[in-house]
Chain A
Amino acid sequence: MDRIIQQLPRFFSPGNISLLLDAAGTTLALTFIGCVSGFLLAFLIVFLRQTPGIWALPLRLLGIAYVEIFRRIPFLVVTYLVLFFIQTFQSDASLFTIAVVAICIYATAYTAEIIRGGFESVARQQIEAATAMNFTRWQTLSGVIIPQSWPVILPPAVAFAVGFVKDTALVSQVGVFELTFRGKELNNGGFSGILVFGTIALIYFGISYPLSRFGRWLESRLASSRSEKPRKRLRTA
């Protein structure tokens, strides 16, 4: 205990504090870039899965296979695989980029299921009406399905991204300078494990908890927009 108190001033030096703040920024950047790009790619996967016609069967299977496979591999393994693959063919790729690619690949698989659920939540009848009026598949998707799926897609998608803040800790294993990596560094440099990891835990908490509260607020806002009484909704102007 005394050891910890002794270390406090050295630990909370301006240098260290800025180091940790930087690392927190990296953690946030990793999460945000990875999850947003994953979200966009997930739309692509879902479109692939829904392409009609016999000729598109390989595409549909590809979409299904991608999701089913990458939802069943631990993120650590995905990260290592991305690391090895990229480094084999491009040895000077930045570790940050590698980490973002790994997060993106993983997030795409999970978010694709969320988006698919969102699309399926739109009543078939509206889609039939659109088809009967000669809407193309894309027109139905963009004009009718997607505008109405947001309340179903956004809350779980945001919750996933917020939850992923914690999972980014694993990319410390490939040497990215985020929070966990800096924590290990400081611990290796002689600071008490309790002090270091306690502080890092609190920083993660400080990022994750407010974001998760935001996610829940968003969910309750969007849930009320789906209820029967006329409410503010994501309208097409």
Chain B
Amino acid sequence: MHHLEVRNLASAYGRLEVLKGVNLTLKKGEVMALIGPSGSGKSTVLRVLMGLTRPTGGEVLIDGAAVDYTRPASVRAARDRMAIVFQQYNLFQNMDVMRNVTIAPVKIKGRPRAEVEREAVRLLEKVGLGDKHHAYPDQLSGGQQQRVAIARALALKPEILLLDEVTSALDPELVNEVLDSVRALAADGMTMLIVSHEMGFVREVAAKVVMMDKGRVVEEGPPRQIFDAPRTDRARDFVGKILRH
């Protein structure tokens, strides 16, 4: 059984079809990367998984059980098992780092505060922010905020981690510190679905790369195939253009 399976997923915004039948399978501990041009629907896949955008067709299965995005209880259960890190970090501006990280596990999941705080200290240490517990988001750089966002997501103890272009909003110097954290997560065996433009990083960390265009999957395979020997013209086109940088 796959950890995460997406079958024929469709999503439309009014008459605009953003996803036109996407199929993905993720095994436990697997890292999959979604690449493709802007507007291909990559971020939408993540948003649909987290219940932020309604699907108009298709299925999402976690451990073989389908998620019913029309039933709030089902959506909550799905969200319980996943966590997402956004491109813009989306930290709560009125809370300090420690509270950002601990609020959901304590208030939503109901875990004891002392235990969550210990865990938070460990996570923040792990992403290199051990000395910033009481800083507020507006006192941190973009890279630091993104690492807090990662710690925040990890504090939820998700089974599946979704990363939505987590380095795209960062200045180039700050990208590496975030990638280091993600690299560490991959090494730890976290099931991850990563949307990214950082091809070098994707190549290094992903077991499977899926290229999307105009709401569909164009090609999928190991990084070596997608980057070195793409089988479809569209993929070849895209990879050719971006790797020329």
A residues near B (Cβ < 8 Å) are: 123, 125-126, 128-135, 139, 143-144, 147-148, 228, 230, 233-236
Contact = CB atoms under 8 A, between A and B. Distances in A.
B79 A236 contact: no
B92 interface: yes
Contact of A128 (B52, B76, B94, B139): B52
- Which residue, B50, B88, B91, B104, has most C-beta atoms of chain A within 10 A? B104
Contacts of B103: 143
5 contacts: A123-B93, A125-B86, A133-B108, A230-B139, A233-B136
Interface in B49-84: 50-52, 76, 79-80, 83-84
Contact of A235 (B88, B90, B95): B95
Contacts of A144: 92, 94
- Which residue, A131, A132, A135, A143, has most C-beta atoms of chain B within 10 A? A132
A128 B91 CA distance: 10
A235 B139 CA distance: 14
Contacts of B107: 135, 139, 143
Contacts of B51: 131-132
- Which residue, A126, A130, A233, has most C-beta atoms of chain B within 10 A? A126
Contacts of A230: 136, 138-139
A132 B84 contact: yes
B138 A228 contact: yes
A233 B80 contact: no
A134 B93 CA distance: 18
B104 A135 contact: yes
Contacts of A129: 86, 90-92
B104 A126 contact: no
A124 to B, nearest CB: 9
7 A-B pairs with the lowest CB-CB distances in the bound complex, closest first: A129-B90, A133-B104, A147-B94, A125-B90, A132-B50, A230-B139, A134-B79
A99 B72 CA distance: 45
A235 B79 contact: no
Interface of B: 50-52, 76, 79-80, 83-84, 86, 88, 90-96, 99, 103-104, 107-108, 136, 138-139, 156
Nearest to B52: A128
Given A125-B88, A128-B90, A236 B99 contact: yes
B144 to A, nearest CB: 13
- Which residue, B83, B84, B95, has most C-beta atoms of chain A within 10 A? B95
Contacts of B84: 132
Nearest to B87: A125
A233 to B, nearest CB: 7
Contact of B92 (A126, A132, A134): A126
- Which residue, B90, B94, B107, has most C-beta atoms of chain A within 10 A? B94
B108 A134 contact: yes
B95 A132 contact: no
Contact of B93 (A131, A132, A139, A148): A148
Contacts of B94: 144, 147-148, 233-236
A228 B137 CA distance: 11
B69 to A, nearest CB: 13
Contact of A126 (B80, B90, B99, B139): B90
Contacts of B92: 126, 129-130, 143-144
A198 to B, nearest CB: 49
B29 to A, nearest CB: 22
Contacts of A148: 93-94
Contacts of B52: 128, 131-132
Given A228-B138, A230-B136, A139 B108 contact: yes
Given A123-B90, A135-B104, 5 more contacts: A129-B86, A132-B51, A133-B108, A143-B107, A236-B94
A171 to B, nearest CB: 39
B170 to A, nearest CB: 16
B90 A134 contact: no
